[in-house]
Amino acid sequence: MVYFSLFGDEFPIGDITDKLGIIPTETYNKGDLIPNSSSICYRKETSWDLSTGYQTSLDVNDQLLQIVNKLQNKTSIINEIKEVYFLECKFLIVVKIEEGNSPALYLDKNIVKFASKIEAEFDIDLYANPYEEDLND
C-alpha cells in the first residue's frame, strides 16, 4: 500500500479536497479518537490522505505511480496549500512480505523528482509475516 498524506496541526480538510479536486481516501482531525486502538488514543494532527489500499505487487513503484499520477500536475497547488496551512507532506509505503516474497523497493527517478518539488518525505514500513515451511522434507 502507498499513500500520500498532507498533515499538520489543524486545517479545513474540505478546502484541501476542493483545491486539489481529488476525493481523499481517508481524513481525520486533530483530537479524533483513533479507532481499533488497544487503549484510548487521540490523533495528534489533522490529515488528508490519498491511498492505493493494499494490493498484491512485487514492485512498489506500481503503487507509487498510481498516487503520483493523480497529483503530478498539482505541484503548485500542493505547495500553495502547504504554505497557507503550514502543512507537511509525505509518501508512506507499507510493505507486507508474505511467504518470503519481498517486492522490489526502489524509487523511480520521476517519483523522486516529484517528491522533491513538493518537499515530500518517504516513510517505509516493512512487515515480514511468518510463512509455513514445508514440513515434508
Mean pLDDT computed over 70-85: 97
pLDDT at position 71, please?
Answer: 97
Would the pLDDT of 110 be above 70? Answer: yes
pTM for the structure as a whole: 0.85
- Could you say which DSSP state residue 46 is in? E
pLDDT at residue 62 tops 70: yes
Query: In the Cβ-directed half-sphere of 38, how many Cα atoms lie within 13 Å?
Result: 0
Interatomic CA distance for residues 27 and 74, integer angstroms: 19
Q: What is the mean pLDDT of the chain?
A: 90
**pLDDT level of residue 57 (50, 70, 90 thresholds):** confident
Q: Choose between 132 and 26: higher pLDDT.
A: 26
Phi, psi dihedrals of residue 124, rounded to the nearest 5°: -120, 125
List Cα–Cα distances, 38 to 1, 11, 29, 46, in angstroms.
Answer: 23, 28, 20, 21
